[in-house]
Amino acid sequence: MSKPLRVTLLAIAASAAAASAFAAPDAAPVGDPKVATTQDGKYFDAAGNPTYKIAPNGQVDWYTFSGYRRFNGTCETCHGFDGSGSSFAPDLTQSLKTIGYDDFQKIVINGKQSVNTAESLVMPAFGDNKNVMCYLDDIYVYLRARSDGALGSGRPPSNEAKPKTAIANENDCMGP
Ligand code: HEC
């Protein structure tokens, strides 16, 4: 009799711990977006997280451009054009100032809910959606550029060519 109850309480404690992981992210989760390393047209910051590269003439790296297209294909319905928010979902150009790469991935893969007496907000889980999962870094660097104010609203004026690695990874990830 006492055993199932104990298991239930442990499960509740575990899910409370998982929920607070989103509520209290690391002290400095976002980091400096400055490019530190490059691998075949993909850019990384000093912490090794993906970042954007924007030339003085406005030309963006491939992944930022791809993220712009993917975001506005799937996330825009709730988060507004170019991430600027709507009555259903938060302004991601603000959220990404404090949500770092790891937490961003967790939220998009698992979803997120704030359900209380004042509000009922549900972010769906996209972990099974290849159109999102295969482009998660692309969407991240696009939103990172938007939240830093490095990229305005609308289609970037031009973009770097699609890297060979991006073509190969996309084929592997999306499958036949
Ligand atoms: C059906 C509507 C909907 C769609 C589509 C959607 N979201 Fe969300 N999203 C939400 C809601 C609502 C929240 C707020 C959840 C909460 O506060 O608990 C949210 C929260 C988030 C957050 C956390 C923001 C914060 O300030 O805590 C991120 C990051 C995010 N969404 C990214 C995305 C990305 C990337 C996509 C596209 C792959 C996407 N969302 C698609 C509704 C949506």
Q: Phi and psi of 149, rounded to 5°?
A: 75, 10
pLDDT at 28: 54
| CA-closest residue to ligand 1 atom 20 | 123
| CA-closest residue to ligand 1 atom 39 | 75
Rounded to the nearest whole angstrom, what is the distance from the C-alpha of residue 123 to the centroid of ligand 1? 4
Is residue 156 a contact partner of residue 83, using CB atoms and an 8 Å limit? Answer: no
Rounded to the nearest whole angstrom, what is the distance from the C-alpha of residue 57 to the centroid of ligand 1? 31
pLDDT at 116: 83
pLDDT at 120: 82
Specify the pairing of strand 112-115 against strand 50-51. unpaired
Query: Is domain 41-174 classified as CATH 1.10.760.10?
Result: yes
Q: Residues lining ligand 1, CB < 6 A?
A: 74-75, 77-79, 88-90, 92, 95, 99, 104, 107-108, 112-114, 121-124, 126, 132, 139
Strands (E), 116-155: 120-123
- With H, G, I as helix, E, B as strand and everything else as coil, classify residue 121: strand
**41 Rama sector, left if φ>0, alpha if ψ -120 to 50, beta otherwise:** left
In the predicted model, residues of the chain with pLDDT beneath 50 are 1-27
Alpha-carbon distance of 121 to 89, in angstroms, equals 7
| CA-closest residue to ligand 1 atom 32 | 108
Strands (E), the chain: 37-39, 42-44, 50-51, 112-115, 120-123
Q: Which residues contact 39 (CB under 8 A, 6 or more apart)?
A: 165
Rounded to the nearest whole angstrom, what is the distance from the C-alpha of residue 39 to the centroid of ligand 1? 29
Rounded to the nearest whole angstrom, what is the distance from the C-alpha of residue 56 to the centroid of ligand 1? 31
